[in-house]
Amino acid sequence: MVKVCHCKLSPALKSAHQKMDLLLQKVKALGIEDRDIQTSLSTRPQQTYEANKPSRIVGYFVSSQAQIKIRNISKAGDVIDASLAAGANSISDIQWVLEDEESHRSKAREKAIKLLFTKMNEMATVAGVKLGKIISLSENSNPGPSFPRGVLFEETAAMSKPVSRVPGTPINAGTIRLNVEIFGTAELLL
């Protein structure tokens, strides 16, 4: 984000535009595509207030923001460094997401269902009965903080291998966990 304050709106806008243009040039030079960059702009007056007098505008704040999707995590530190060098004075809301979340969710679902059937069979065996047909299966994805009531399986997707880079902004993607709870009911045969 590029934040600029000036006593007049036009110079504040011009400064913010120039810095954002340079920022965009620098991140595109690192291989970030246009489809992965979304910009926005906001302005607001800076006002002063005195007792028994109307407020008056003494300047303007301009904020030019870029939301950048970095597909190659090893470039994240470089993108941040280039943005700061271009004039960005605020970096915030770094988020890690999976590009193909549904395939990871499918893997977690498959493992959870297999584990559910294994546990159901174990319980039936201990009880001296056999497992009959499945009456119901249901899923609760991303249940949030709760006590698991069914079979919970986490699919952990490593974001990337550790990246060796020259000194700069250190970035560590860590892991993202997708939780899938599977609930099942089955017939018991004597």
Do residue 170 and residue 122 come from a single domain? yes
Each residue's pLDDT tens digit in the chain (190 positions)? 899 999 999 999 999 999 999 999 999 999 999 999 999 999 999 999 999 999 999 999 999 999 999 988 888 889 999 999 999 998 888 888 777 888 888 888 999 999 999 999 999 999 999 999 999 999 986 543 333 334 444 444 444 444 434 457 887 777 777 888 899 999 999 8
Q: Do 110 and 178 sit in the same domain of this protein?
A: yes
Answer yes or no: do 24 and 59 share one domain.
yes
Q: How far apart, in whole angstroms, are the C-alpha atoms of residue 152 and residue 116?
A: 9
Task: Tell whether 59 and 123 lie within a shared domain.
Answer: no
What range does the domain containing 80 cover? 2-86
Task: Please check whether residues 130 and 157 belong to one and the same domain.
Answer: yes
Say whether both 45 and 77 belong to one domain: yes
Distances (CA, A) of 179 to 29, 96, 99, 148: 37, 16, 17, 10
Please report, for the domain that includes residue 111, its CATH number: 3.30.110
